[in-house]
Structure 1
Amino acid sequence: MEVLKLLEEIEDILENASTIPFAAKVVIDKDDLLEIIREIRIKLPDEIKQAEWIKEERQRILAEAQNEADTIAEEAKIHIEEMIEQDEITRKAKERAEEIMRNAQENAKEIRLGAREYADELLKEVQDQMNIMIETVENNRNELRGLK
């Protein structure tokens, strides 16, 4: 910053100035000092404007970075929720598949038991019919024996 250089010049002038004996005062060239002060006044607004611009730019960059960080965090949150949801969907699908398999196995077991009962009933009917037939055959044989 040029203002700092000009302030250093003022310090140099004061340090190298002639001193008045027995007093804490110095003799300086008034025109030299006023010229430096004029230059400071000229340069100071530009440097203040530049410092304000830097400050505003810094704030803008920080706000932009914060927005980007917020966006990334939100996207990560959404992605995690989607992954959790996908995991939940997969878990529910597996549970549903297991339920369907259990139901199918129970239905198959019921069908097998029903088929056995039905076959047993049919065989019982056949057996009963055969017993009736055997009894009829025996009666017919006994009748034939009685005719002899």
Structure 2
Amino acid sequence: MDILQLIEEIEDIIEESSSIPFSGKVMIDKDEILEIIKEIRIKLPDEIKQASWVKDEKQRILAEAQKEADTIVSEARTHLEELIDHDEITKLAQVRAEEIMARSQNNAKEIRIGAVEYADNLLMETQEYLKEQIDILDKNRQELRGMK
């Protein structure tokens, strides 16, 4: 059974359930609905699961980039402290440390931008897929309403 059929099954259960007088509410079998929802979760398209993975992966990449940048900065500071006693060497070390910091920040920024673009593309694809599924659901519901 695919997701659309499961959603239709939920709609059927709701439409066939006993209504509570003087309200727009109905009584449904909680376990039956939860079982169908569990089946829907199991059958969710890989694109949705992949979007979640991309989000987690983006965080991992950003953390890794930040760790790498921190390591480079730490190494640059250590190197700078070793050379602090020598005036000319100190100046060169300071310039080199700034270059390393700028490079590491640029690398981290490029990695973050790449991760965000990658995540955005996957989320866009997932969004388009979900829009198509919603359009199909809307058409199916309109057809059902036309049959009444």
Note whether the superposition's TM-score is higher than 0.5: no
Larger Rg: 1
TM-score (norm 1): 0.39
Q: Tell which has more relative contact order, 1 or 2 (C-alpha 8 A, sep 6+).
A: 2
**How does the TM-score come out when normalised to structure 2?**
0.39
